[in-house]
Structure formats: C-alpha cells, structure tokens
Structure 1
C-alpha cells in the first residue's frame, strides 16, 4: 500500500497543527489533530432500520444477561450502542435478520474487550471456545468455560433459524479468520511489535471482522460461490474492508493511545514507517481511503450480469457493502465509544484534542470506559 510522501506532505501545509493549554486539569499542552470527512462524496446515504428501537433493547438485554462486565463497564459498553452500527448497516433487513446483526456486533465488541487484554495463549483459548460453539450451536457448553462460548452459541443458534446455507458457511469461515487476526494482534501486542504498512493491512483485514458482517448481508440471499468469488465482487469486498478499518482506526486512535494500546492502528503504523506525526499519518490514510473509494465505485460499475434472480441478489449484497462503509463512519460519531458525547461536534469541527498518552492505562476492569469522563 505505497503512497508518495509528497502527497500528504503538501496537504499538511494547509493543516493547522497547534498546541493548546487545556483547562480540564491536564498539566501539558494538548495537540489538535485532524479528523477528516472520509465519506464526503460517498454515494450511500445514512439510513436506519425502523426496527432499531426494538432490536436494540432486545439485543442489549440479551448480552447484559450474561453479566460479563461490571455494572460500570456494562454502562460504558451500552453507550457504545453496537446495535446502532448494525441497524445502519442493514437499513432494509427483516426484523429477525437485523436482530441477528445486532447480536453479532454485541458479540464482536464483547470479544474485542476481552481479547484486548489477553496474551496469545488466552486469546487462542477464547477463539477455540467461540468456534466450537459456532460449529455445535445445539450442544451445551462446558460449565467452567469462558462465557464467550455460550454467548456465541446462543447468537448462532438463533441466527441459523433464518439464515441461508450460503450465509452460514461464509460466516463460519469469516469468523474463524477474524479470530485468527485477533490472536495475531495479541501476539503483536505482547511482543510490542509494530508492523510495516503492508503486513498491517494483511492482519487488520482479518481483525476488523468486516467480512463476518458481510456474511450476514446474505442471511436472506442465496448467491452461488462462483458469483461471490468473482474478481469484481471481491474487489468491492476488499475495498470495503479496507475503508472500514481505516476509518475505524482514525476514530479509535485517540482512545487507544490514551490507554497505551495503539500499536494495532494504521495511524501508529504510518507514523512509524514514514517518520511523520499523527496529522501526517491521518492525511496519508485519507489519501489511501480516497483511492479505495474510487476502486469500489469502478468495480460497482463493472459488475457483470448473470440472470435476473442472481443479479438482484448481487445488487442487494453490493449495496449492503456500501451501507456497511457508511454505517461504520456514522456510528463512530453517533455512539459514545470513541468520542463520548462529543462525537457529532467532532464530526462537525473536523478536529480533536489528543488526550495525554496513557491517560486511560491501568484500568482494572474488563470492558470499555466512559470517554471524556473522570477515571
């Protein structure tokens, strides 16, 4: 994923990089960093599934019933509003399908919270428990097992009641790939390993979990393997995955560096490899994202024809990819996961103050913390 340094160096001349004295108790100047509007020209508008209030309440209550987090961490997790992401990504889905999507994102971010503090061995055990549960959804889990196994089992047992065979097959393969990426992330974190840009792309395409979400776009579809694997469709998938994780890495960078866990983030990777600062890295990411957007739209215009029954399903699937890119961006600002209650203001202003490094480090509880709140 090479890009010329000159492209973002010239862009930086128009960027105001300042230090300000914060009035909220910090004893050091804070850097102002750029939050670009990566989807300013994206042709897929924001749309929200009308089942959102109902499925959000049901899915949140379901996950909370496992008592996997402390009350404080559970409150912070609820404010992340994982169901909003799913209902934006599946704006026209049936109720049972969008409920499955909400359960999926709750499971995904639950796993993220636990594996973020796990060493390789523990992350591997967590992966094995989840995958065994997905492959045997009707069998009870071992009593002493990590709670993630039972959460995954219940999610999948409910989902497969209304899922096509193709979507089930692809989800299992994609989720295994996602968890393998999470294990690799744990290995890198334990070894304090900072990857180069290309190898980071290889791992992040897995650890972002987007391909698993794409499989859920097919819950009501029956697209043949030779169609879904067509190079044009695969180009759209890959461009979508890359745009999603690039966008997510920018949104999450401030929180991650504040807790000392920014090694698995494209901003850190670019800063390290290209010897630039945070704003220079973000401008590189914005340039890369623009190229991916062009790649996606060119591929969408080149989708071949098969027969009408297949063509209509392919159109729905590819529209779903575009919706997922939009959903990830809008959810980042509308939820409280990365910007607390200031997300819409950050989106409007296009900049954010960089929190002191390690400010959120040393948390004892598993689960997220409230961004922007005392810790």
Structure 2
C-alpha cells in the first residue's frame, strides 16, 4: 500500500517582503561561469556533490566556498568536522598556516584574491564572523552525531551562525568599499535591524530547503524540524508559523530602521548603504531560491506560482522526481 502524499503550502513571502526586488546583475552569467570554473579547478567534490552544486547556480565565489564546506561537513563525524572547520578558519586567517588538502588550496586562493583590496575593518569583521561560523558548523556536526535536535530558544542563535549569513553580510562592507566602526555593530537598534535580516534569511531558507533536506535525511539543522518537535506541529503548521515570524521580523526591521541614531553625515551615509544591502540580501535570497533548482528541482516554477510543495520520499538525494 503506497504512503499518503503529503503536501504543504508555502507562505507568500514575496507579498510579505516589503523590499524591492532588483533586476539581476547584467554580469550574472559571466560571473557564474567563472565562479563555477574556479571551484572545479580545485577538485574538491565527488560527482554527487558536483551535481548538487550545479543546481545552486551561485555567482559569488564566497558563497561557492561556503557550499564546499557545507557539503563536505554534512557527512562528517564530529571529529572530522572539527578538524575541517578549524582548518577552514586558520587558512583564511593565517596565510602561513599549513594544511595539505584541496579545501585548504581553494581557501588560500580565495584569501589571496581579496586580501590586497580588503580594508582592515572589513577583514576584522569577516574573520570574527567566520570564526563563529566554523565553530557553529562543528557544533552542528556534534549534535547530528548525537542525534540531538535543539529547542527553539537554543537553535536560533546556532542557526544564525552556522547558516553563514553573517559571513555573507560581512562582504557588504567589502563590496561597497565602506568601513563601519565597531560602535555601529554594538548599537542595540542597529543590532535589531541586522538580526531581523539575518533571521529572515535563515527562517525562509530553512523552509524552502526543508523538502530536499528531509529526503536526504538532513533534518536536525532546520527550523521546520525544531518547530514540528517543539510544538507537536505538522509541516504545514510549521510553514505557517514561519510565515508569521517572517512578517514580524519584517515589521521590526522597518520600525527600527527608522529609529537608527545618527553618527554623523559620513557614517550615516555608509550605514544607510549597508542597511539597503541587507534588504537586497533578504529579497535576493527569495528570488534565488526559486530561480535555481537546488530546492525545488524541475518544479521550481510550480512552487513559485502555486506555493504548493509535495513532500519527497526519503533518499531522493537530488531533490527531483
């Protein structure tokens, strides 16, 4: 007797998102091809991992580098994940650190590509975020090995770090050629805006990736699983909850954005640029999730138009029927 088909409806994130959705960068295809070729040059993936990466269609070298660690660490035990994550950070932080691996080679190549144009304040913020990220990925591996799923209050801080969203946000300074003083990041109102954006990306990403992850057996590091366990909820109820939280985070972001203090004309201009970039990240994450085939396979347009998702059976590793 066949199992019942389980379907759930995604929140209408595009209606809930108050930010403008900008057009794709005209250099998208060219940069995507270059970044793909760059990763392939270091031979860090097996055929299955290469196929998953192909669906991601990322353009940014750093995002591709993150996907490298993400896919490699997914199948590692806690000891191996700790060693790999430590090497990831140390190679990025110290060019004299020696580690014989393809992963170390690609990290060092990335570091050398940016270090000459990286301003000190950016690189300091980036390394701080990267250290938290690599530790959180190692912590995630330990939890996975122990079969432990955190409760919501403890999961959210971990997810903020192991998602690498904060590392990506660090590149806002680099891309815009600005440097924000530490006092900005320490300001409680700025932190509220910042973490609202982090959480909007994390919560939506977990829901949009859940179907593929549960089919592959990678469910412990996902807010959907946490909500289902903690609230004894169905997938649909968890999805609805994420929609409510997204709307609350959006409201908080807009409210506190209007309450940001002044640090002087020059810094205020850079803060405004940074906050605008946060909005583009939140909106861009939604657009990318439905444009690529990483999460919905060949049904990404159906998922976008209908918001209806059919739960894959277990072990559908490529996320497609």
* TM > 0.5: yes
The equivalent residue for 1:58 is 34
**Distance (whole Å) between structure 2 residues aligned to residue 72 and residue 199 of structure 1:** 32
Distance 2:144 2:36 in 1: 30
Residue aligning to 1:11: none
1:206 aligns with 2:154: no
Matched, 1:160 2:115: yes
Q: Which moved more, 1:147-156 or 1:177-186?
A: 147-156
Query: 1:267: which partner in 2?
Result: 224
Q: Report the 3-state secondary structure (helix = DSSP H, G, I; strand = E; otherwise coil) of the residue aligned with 1:217.
A: helix
Q: In structure 1, what is the equivalent of residue 319 of structure 2?
A: 371
- Stretch moving more, 228-237 or 261-270: 228-237
Deviations 1:80-134, CA, capped at 9 Å, x for gaps? 1121xxxxxxxxxxxxxxxxxx111001111100111111110111111111111
Asked whether the 8 Å contact 2:12–2:307 carries over to 1, the reply is yes
Which structure is higher in helix share? 2
Q: Work out whether residues 126 and 146 of structure 1, in 8 Å CA contact, stay in contact via their aligned partners in 2.
A: no
Counterpart selection for 1:194 from 149, 153, 168: 149
Partner Cα separation in structure 2 for residue 351 and residue 269 of structure 1: 21
Equivalent positions of 1:216-227 (< 5 A) are 216-219=171-174, 220-227=177-184
1:32 corresponds to 2:7: yes
Please tell me whether residue 118 in structure 1 is matched to residue 76 in structure 2: yes
The aligned residue for residue 317 of structure 1 is: 274
Give the drift of 1:170: 0.5
Task: Tell me whether 1:82 sits opposite 2:52 in the alignment.
Answer: no
TM-score (norm 2): 0.94
Aligned-residue Cα RMSD (Å) equals 1.6
1:49 partnered with 2:25: yes
- The alpha-carbon distance between structure 1 residues 140 and 265, as it changes in their structure 2 partners (threshold 3 A), is closer
Equivalent residues of 2:86, 2:134 under 8 A apart: no
Question: In the alignment, which residue of structure 1 is the partner of 2:66?
Answer: 108
CA offset digits 1:47-78 (Å, max 9, x no partner) = 22222222212111100111112345323312
Aligned length: 318
| Secondary structure of 1:372 counterpart | coil
Counterpart Cα distance in 1 of 2:105 and 2:190? 34
Task: Return the offset for 1:341.
Answer: 2.3
TM-score in terms of structure 1 length: 0.81
- 2:16–2:247 Cα contact (<8 Å) kept: no
1:241 Cα offset (Å): 1.0
- Secondary structure at 1:29 match in 2: coil
How many Å apart are 1:141 and its aligned residue? Answer: 4.0
In structure 1, distance between residues paired with 2:275 and 2:163: 19
* Secondary structure at the counterpart of residue 116 of structure 2: helix
Partner-residue secondary structure (3-state), 1:33: strand
* 3-state DSSP of counterpart to 2:42: coil
Matched, 1:175 2:125: no
Q: Determine the C-alpha separation between the residues in 1 that align with 2:171 and 2:72.
A: 23
The aligned residue for residue 359 of structure 1 is: 315
Instruction: Report how far residue 210 of structure 1 moved.
Output: 0.7
* Residue pair 2:302, 2:308 contacting (<8 A) in 1 also: no
User: What corresponds to 2:258 in structure 1?
Assistant: 301
Match of 2:196 among 239, 245, 249: 239
Higher mean C-alpha deviation, range 173-182 or range 69-78 = 69-78
Cα deviation, 1:299-333, whole Å, max 9, x if unaligned, reads: 11112222221111111100111111111111111
Aligned-partner Cα distance in 1 for 2:250–2:115: 33
SS of residue paired to 2:6: strand
Q: Which runs of 5+ in 1 are unaligned?
A: 1-25, 84-101, 361-368
Output the CA distance in 2 between the equivalents of 1:241 and 1:167.
Answer: 18
Q: Assess, with a 3 A threshold, how the Cα gap between structure 1 residues 54 and 141 changes in structure 2: closer, same or farther.
A: farther
